[in-house]
């Protein structure tokens, strides 16, 4: 991929394009921030700690300028981390009925697979079950893991941290949807009838399409990146 090729970047409800060169800068900034965070965790010399703090602040300013986001928001994400920085975990439930996949419509109007950040007191399976209940109103059973994705390969959005996304094939046991603060509607979609306004910063069309493949293949092997 050359520097003239472009990626989609999502910010709020807007979509804009970023070049491969810009994406490289963002990757460097995230790496710089993670090194500073590790230094703050392991460092003991107060002068070194001051330098690491300054490096982290510079990385936050660079991210704010590059991503066109408020510095206060970036600092909130960059500077509130404690300890050695690791990727955040995001779980997604792929629930099927009669060959159709369940999507939830968020308050933004976009559609996505039910899911979200993995809470500190949850496992991958329990968080997947919890999010399906909260966002779709369904009680589900996790059957198998479809894929473990690095978000940077699929979901083009600027984040000051890495994200690992775990997609699980789930079976609905019961329940019913009730509108809530996160989601306003649910619907089962056929493969060729997916809505236009997919929240691709959370679940891309490619990832949803792969869920269809996994559901149709009893011998599906988990895809790990």
Q: Are 123 and 115 in contact (CB under 8 A)?
A: no
Task: For the chain, give every domain's residue range.
Answer: 6-78, 88-224
What local confidence, expressed as pLDDT, does residue 82 receive? 62
Measured CA to CA in angstroms, residue 32 lies from 53, 62, 69, 166 at distances of 12, 10, 18, 26
What local confidence, expressed as pLDDT, does residue 128 receive? 98
Give the closest residue to 152 by CA, choosing from 87, 85, 65, 63. Answer: 87
What local confidence, expressed as pLDDT, does residue 130 receive? 97
What local confidence, expressed as pLDDT, does residue 206 receive? 94
Can you tell me the distance from the alpha carbon of 147 to that of 149, in angstroms, rounded to the nearest whole number? Answer: 6
What local confidence, expressed as pLDDT, does residue 190 receive? 98
pLDDT means per 10 residues, the chain with 225 residues, are: 39 47 78 82 85 85 77 67 75 98 95 93 95 97 96 68 91 94 95 93 93 97 94
What local confidence, expressed as pLDDT, does residue 131 receive? 97
Q: Give the CATH number of domain 88-224.
A: 3.90.79.10
What local confidence, expressed as pLDDT, does residue 159 receive? 60
Can you tell me the distance from the alpha carbon of 198 to that of 92, in angstroms, rounded to the nearest whole number? Answer: 14
What local confidence, expressed as pLDDT, does residue 16 receive? 41
Q: Enumerate the H helices of the chain as residue ranges.
A: 20-42, 46-67, 71-78, 124-136, 205-216
Pairing mode, strands 115-117 and 88-97? antiparallel
């Amino acid at each position: 991929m050359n520097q003239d090729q472009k990626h989609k970047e999502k910010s709020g409800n807007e979509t804009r394009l970023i070049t491969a060169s810009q994406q490289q800068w963002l990757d460097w900034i995230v790496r710089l921030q993670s090194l500073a965070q590790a230094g703050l965790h392991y460092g003991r010399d107060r002068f070194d700690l001051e330098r690491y703090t300054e490096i982290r602040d510079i990385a936050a300013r660079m991210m704010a300028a590059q991503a066109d986001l408020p510095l206060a928001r970036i600092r909130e994400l960059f500077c509130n981390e404690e300890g050695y920085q690791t990727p955040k975990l995001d779980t997604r439930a792929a629930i099927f009925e009669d060959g159709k996949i369940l999507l939830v419509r968020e308050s933004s109007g976009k559609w996505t697979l039910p899911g979200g950040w993995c809470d500190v007191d949850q496992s991958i399976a329990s968080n997947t079950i919890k999010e399906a209940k909260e966002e779709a109103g369904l009680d589900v059973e996790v059957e198998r893991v479809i894929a473990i994705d690095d978000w940077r390969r699929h979901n083009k959005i600027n984040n000051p941290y890495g994200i690992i996304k775990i997609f699980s094939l789930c079976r609905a046991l019961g329940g019913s949807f009730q509108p809530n603060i996160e989601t306003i509607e649910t619907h089962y979609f056929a493969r060729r009838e997916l809505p236009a306004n997919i929240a691709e910063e959370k679940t891309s069309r490619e990832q949803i399409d792969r869920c269809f493949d996994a559901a149709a293949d009893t011998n599906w092997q988990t895809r790990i990146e």
